[in-house]
């Protein structure tokens, strides 16, 4: 048994900060997009790739990142990921054309795809010796992801308003260098294991996921039944089918299919996908409602979402971990998704002449509470049954699931919101579209709650009694 690391809580700060920054990278650019469009010459349709280049690279390569973490050691992969993320940030910051900007964002996504699963493996190494400490550590680590996504909007607003858009990327350089400096002293040197990289599997699954996300993003513009969209989806399905064939035939597959026999893995990943498919569209369209309907600028729009961040941090750190120990994962996931549905559905009543304190604040806080209740239990359910050697793989799967669910949900809700043409300045028309997106996202959350209730197995009674005894000792 490995000795307990006396600096494990300091190490957790590094890991949580890394998770915060990786997820924040998907949202910090939101309020800076108009300035980037003006300076770099993006078309109205091409501007979305500042966001999507990161998400596609990040979501498409997470499985490979998990595999590399297991094979070469989590600390080495974590370090490599930060070097790549910093390099991509520099490219994105100095970009003077749209294509260079997209390239930089894609490189950032590659770095994030290495950092996220390596962080989870290191966390399990640091705290796996004590279930109570592991629960607390997971609460802190888990809070970093949604908080990073929400805080990115606020920080992006501050930076864009008072500096300029390149600084939303420059900020990653000193943080990355500080993280790299802290790695040798705080993070354990995890020994990799012998094996090989399933190159064909990595190419097919990454290509399949990337092409699927590309098809979903492009479908509202091309048409869901257009020849181009059908061919893109067919290509994605062919690549994913090839991936499954490869996994059944190679000696050391990227994702051994037997991992899906892990108790709770499939249903927890389904819950994570639907959680992302409800949460990310809500955040996206809430930001648009604040700016395009209520007329908020970059800084006020980011500040308006700050209460959500505070609510997420309070619940995830102070409440969710205790509830998880007392009631188990399934009830919290079901209740969390149901509460989120209420909050997201409440935003569907937002008015063209709305007021933040009435039309936004109450519903957004309810949605944040729902997210806080469901996220950590779903993540832990997906990870808890995996053995130590599969922790990187399990982390890659659950993070991929969340990202792909987010992309699919955002594409679908965008199609709903833009189903009817809206003239410039038509606030009522814009609000109608956003309301449709909120209804759709709320429906996804309801479906997630129902499916989790029906499909997820609860713990055995002996496990519940053991869990209650552990909670009583805390």
| 192 within some domain | no
Q: What's the pLDDT score for residue 414?
A: 77
> Do residue 92 and residue 225 come from a single domain?
no
| 190 within some domain | no
Q: What's the pLDDT score for residue 311?
A: 85
| 325 within some domain | yes
> Do residue 433 and residue 472 come from a single domain?
yes
Q: What's the pLDDT score for residue 339?
A: 95
> Do residue 70 and residue 165 come from a single domain?
yes
Q: Encoding tokens for residue 378? A: 């779903």
| 189 within some domain | no
Q: What's the pLDDT score for residue 467?
A: 43
Q: Encoding tokens for residue 451? A: 């499916």
> Do residue 310 and residue 224 come from a single domain?
no
> Do residue 95 and residue 131 come from a single domain?
yes
> Do residue 277 and residue 241 come from a single domain?
no
Radius of gyration, CA atoms only, the chain: 21
Q: What's the pLDDT score for residue 385?
A: 66
> Do residue 84 and residue 112 come from a single domain?
yes
> Do residue 25 and residue 143 come from a single domain?
yes
Domain boundary (231, 253, 275) is at 253
CA 261 → CA 101, 124, 265, 304, 363, distances in Å? Answer: 41, 21, 8, 43, 38
> Do residue 102 and residue 82 come from a single domain?
yes
Q: Compute the distance between CA of residue 337 and CA of residue 52 in angstroms, rounded to an integer.
A: 25
| φ/ψ of residue 17, rounded to 5 | -65, -40
Q: Is the distance from CB of 146 to CB of 312 less than 8 angstroms?
A: yes
> Do residue 281 and residue 427 come from a single domain?
yes
> Do residue 124 and residue 149 come from a single domain?
yes
Q: Tell if the pTM clears 0.85, that is, is over it.
A: no
| 362 within some domain | yes
The total of structural domains in the chain comes to 3
CA 181 → CA 79, 175, 432, distances in Å? Answer: 10, 10, 50
Q: What is the CATH number of the domain that holds 153?
A: 1.20.1250.20
Q: Which domain holds residue 138?
A: 1-184
Q: What's the pLDDT score for residue 470?
A: 38
Q: What's the pLDDT score for residue 107?
A: 94
| 36 within some domain | yes
> CB-based contacts of 159: which residues, under 8 Å, 6+ apart?
28, 32, 165, 167, 168, 171
Q: What's the pLDDT score for residue 48?
A: 67
> Do residue 295 and residue 417 come from a single domain?
yes
Residue 228: how many other CB atoms lie within 10 Å: 13
CA 362 → CA 50, 284, 290, 305, 368, distances in Å? Answer: 31, 17, 15, 12, 10
Residue 467: how many other CB atoms lie within 10 Å: 18
Domain boundary (253, 268, 284) is at 253
| 191 within some domain | no
User: What does pLDDT average to in each consecutive run of 10 residues of the chain (474 residues)?
Assistant: 70 85 78 80 69 79 80 89 94 92 92 86 78 76 71 80 88 90 83 74 81 76 86 94 90 80 83 91 84 82 81 79 81 94 93 90 93 86 69 73 80 78 78 91 95 78 43 37
Residue with tokens 């040197």: 189
Domain boundary (184, 211, 230) is at 184
Q: Residue 257, exposed/middle/buried by CB under 10 A (0-12, 13-18, 19+)?
A: exposed
Q: Is the distance from CB of 91 to CB of 103 less than 8 angstroms?
A: yes
| 161 within some domain | yes
């Amino acid at each position: 048994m490995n000795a307990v690391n006396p600096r494990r809580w300091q190490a957790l700060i590094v890991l949580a900060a890394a998770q915060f920054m990786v997820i924040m990278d998907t949202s910090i650019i939101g309020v800076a997009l108009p300035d980037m469009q003006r300076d770099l010459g993006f078309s109205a349709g091409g501007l979305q790739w500042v966001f999507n280049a990161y998400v596609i690279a990040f979501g498409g390569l997470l499985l490979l990142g998990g595999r590399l973490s297991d094979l070469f050691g989590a600390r080495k992969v974590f370090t490599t990921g930060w070097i790549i993320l910093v390099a991509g940030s520099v490219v994105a910051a100095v970009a003077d054309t749209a294509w260079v900007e997209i390239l930089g964002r894609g490189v950032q996504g590659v770095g994030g795809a290495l950092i996220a699963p390596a962080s989870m493996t290191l966390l399990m190494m640091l705290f796996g010796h004590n279930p109570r400490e592991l629960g607390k550590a997971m609460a802190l680590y888990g809070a970093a992801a949604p908080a990073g996504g929400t805080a990115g909007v606020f920080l992006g607003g501050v930076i864009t308003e008072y500096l300029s858009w390149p600084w939303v990327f420059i900020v990653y350089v000193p943080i990355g260098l500080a993280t790299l400096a802290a790695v040798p002293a705080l993070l354990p040197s995890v020994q990799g294991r012998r094996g090989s990289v399933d190159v064909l599997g990595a190419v097919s699954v990454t290509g399949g996921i990337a092409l699927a996300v590309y098809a979903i993003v492009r479908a509202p513009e091309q048409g869901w039944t257009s020849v181009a969209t059908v061919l893109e989806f067919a290509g994605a399905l062919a690549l994913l089918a090839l991936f499954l064939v490869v996994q059944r035939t190679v000696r050391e597959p990227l994702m051994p299919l037997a991992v899906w026999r892990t108790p709770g893995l499939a249903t927890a990943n389904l819950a994570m996908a639907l959680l992302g498919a409800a949460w990310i569209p809500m955040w996206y369209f809430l930001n648009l409602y604040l700016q395009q309907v209520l007329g908020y600028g970059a800084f006020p729009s980011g500040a308006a979402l700050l209460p959500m961040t505070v609510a997420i941090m309070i619940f995830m750190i102070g409440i969710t971990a205790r509830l998880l120990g007392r009631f188990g994962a399934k009830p919290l996931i079901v209740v969390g998704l149901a509460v989120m549905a209420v909050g997201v559905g409440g935003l569907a009543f937002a008015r063209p002449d709305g007021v933040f304190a009435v039309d936004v604040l109450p519903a957004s806080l309810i949605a944040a509470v729902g997210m806080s209740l469901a996220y950590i239990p779903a993540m832990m359910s997906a990870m808890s049954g995996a053995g130590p050697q599969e922790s990187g793989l399990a982390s890659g799967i659950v993070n991929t699931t969340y990202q792909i669910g987010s992309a699919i949900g955002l594409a679908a809700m965008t199609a709903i919101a833009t189903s009817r043409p809206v003239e410039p300045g038509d606030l009522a028309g814009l609000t109608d579209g956003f309301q449709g997106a909120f209804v759709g996202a709320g429906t996804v959350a309801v479906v997630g709650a129902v499916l989790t209730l029906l499909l997820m197995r609860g713990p055995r009674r002996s496990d519940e009694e053991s869990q209650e005894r552990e909670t009583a000792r805390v």
